[in-house]
Structure 1
């Protein structure tokens, strides 16, 4: 039986529970606090700012009233100039509305001074106007960051790590602006922790470019999670080490405990849960509703043993609506006609295979004996969409 040491973020002693799987250490995700402070006297619901936010920016009356506590203006000149600025640089009305709803104080800014240099920097690196608009609208907090102190140094850091400006641009386009945060506070110290733990550079880059928010963690907490993973028996040289790091980083201890209890209700032991997590860390990243839904379908509707699923946790990472239900519908038809081997291994292979393999080896292969399966499969996919 594996034993884990749970340390709270403030190093407080906690009472040990009977089940060691509960004693994992987690990042406690703290809500962001706004740096904006409301004015002493909030404006009335009929103020000019409220009306403008509703009519020109797509705010609901409630959101407009709330935003007007932080943003006061009595004439449309400056807000109009900001909206015109975004339109001039290729932003759609929807993108502009999204940006303003997240950061209404942009309406009070001088766009040529505070916003334009950041857009021009991205364009100077070869990012198209369309991609700039997409990146900024998806991560509008980028426009609040310092160009000289955060954006440029972060870009240069990634350029050095990835050894290619092309790869750096691809990462920024893929993950939007989450990469361009304060690298001195977050990225550099945590990369060093992983390197000292013997995590290969390729795996560090994989985590950094695909899931940069994992690094938005204090170094002490980050190091604590890394140590817990080592105690759990994860090999730092394997890819599943950084996958597990991502999983523990995004969950609170309470959320983990609820998911453990769900698996236990299906008969899983502590050891089975740990082995499943080590084999497929993503099996603990789905919502509680998804875990229950997938287990219910596979066990109660498809007749698989719960322990069989525990040994193949990859099944819990698949989409119930888009993958499991459509393919199981085809499987049931083929099973009823005696065209396919009816056992758990056969079903699991069918579920985890690529779309190309499934179409070629299953749908096309049996199109004469079971011509209805193609239509059935498409109907299930369309319903999922």
Structure 2
């Protein structure tokens, strides 16, 4: 049977040797042959068959008519094409062991409905085994958010970005809800789900380190950092050391005080090397040539300008008077401009 699993199914010799004892009772290979023939008839490639058999070799002992065929038919009946059905079972082989009406169809239908398409389900199945989670557990987590008053549209938008937001155990999910609440983000806020998303991806220890970096560099309070997080949750995706450097740059080079940074936390999400520093050099060059562009404290606002607006207003407008602007803010940084003159 080892040779059979290697030659027919593509398993490695080691994997085949480990699986072979499960077939010791067979007098012939007729049942495995039938299962393999069926899987291939459904469009599974050799690589996909290997994935399925590697996960659970006993699937080769399944009765085609009673077990395998009904599952393929059931998923196709949802409107998925032959290739998509083959890919679904290859991406998540455990689905071949599910009861059709108890687990398989409810889980597939839930995710197609929530994500909006079978295509998106396939995209996420390639990254994580979404179908392993019971629909009841997923609905409990969604119910928790709805009971807090979070708008369904906001839940849907964020979960489509990262479905694993709702695949946590109820206990871990409640803990995450508590972390968002501790930061003072109200469920009615448009930022609630973004805060939820951010804290799902940033550990408590990492969050504390980033808070300490900003508080230490800006001299603000922890409460002010929480206020910054409420306005721009994505700032916690920036490494702590880089957050500190950005605060120091804004205060030393851009002339921003702590209050300006606290009330404009989106500044800390901007690239230091590709946006803040080059724009600061442009403004300094203009000022050194006597071009009136406002007070230094306004540099914080200049950093936030959309790319087109900044290029048009500060680079292209003055490139004849200050030709070095195109060196300070090279074309690769100006590619978003509507003009190329």
TM-score under structure 1 length normalisation: 0.58
Match of 1:233 in 2: 184
Matched, 1:336 2:289: no
Rounded to whole Å, the distance in 1 between the matches of 2:121 and 2:308 is: 30
Match of 2:231 in 1: 279
Match of 1:223 in 2: 174
- Relative CO higher for 1 or 2, CA cutoff 8 Å, sep ≥ 6? 1
Counting only pairs closer than 5 Å after superposition, residues 253-332 of structure 1 correspond to structure 2 as 253-266=204-217, 267-320=219-272, 325-326=274-275, 328-332=277-281
Cα distance per residue 1:56-111 (max 9 Å; x no partner): 99xxxxxx99x9699668xxxx9xx9xxx7xx7689x9xx8xx97xx96489975x
The alignment partner of 1:237 has SS state of coil
Q: 2:121 aligns with which of 139, 162, 172?
A: 172
Match of 1:5 in 2: none
Instruction: In structure 1, list runs of 5 or more residues that go unmatched.
Output: 1-47, 58-63
Mapped contact 2:146–2:152 kept (Cα < 8 A): yes
The alignment partner of 2:191 has SS state of helix
Matched, 1:209 2:171: no
In angstroms, what is the RMSD of aligned CA positions? 5.0
Cα distance per residue 1:321-379 (max 9 Å; x no partner): xxx534531441243123433534444343352x4444444444344334444454345
Higher percent of residues as helix? 2
Cα distance per residue 1:198-244 (max 9 Å; x no partner): 11111111222112111122223323433454454322122211122
Mapped contact 1:234–1:241 kept (Cα < 8 A): yes
Match of 1:377 in 2: 330
The alignment partner of 1:195 has SS state of helix
Matched, 1:152 2:152: no
Instruction: In structure 2, list runs of 5 or more residues that go unmatched.
Output: 21-31, 336-341
Mapped contact 1:327–1:377 kept (Cα < 8 A): no
C-alpha distance 295-107 of structure 1, shift in aligned 2 (>3 A)? farther
Give the count of matched residue pairs: 302
C-alpha distance 170-200 of structure 1, shift in aligned 2 (>3 A)? farther
Larger Rg: 2
C-alpha distance 136-306 of structure 1, shift in aligned 2 (>3 A)? farther
Q: 1:247 aligns with which of 198, 201, 204?
A: 198
Question: Displacement of 1:190 after TM fit?
Answer: 0.7
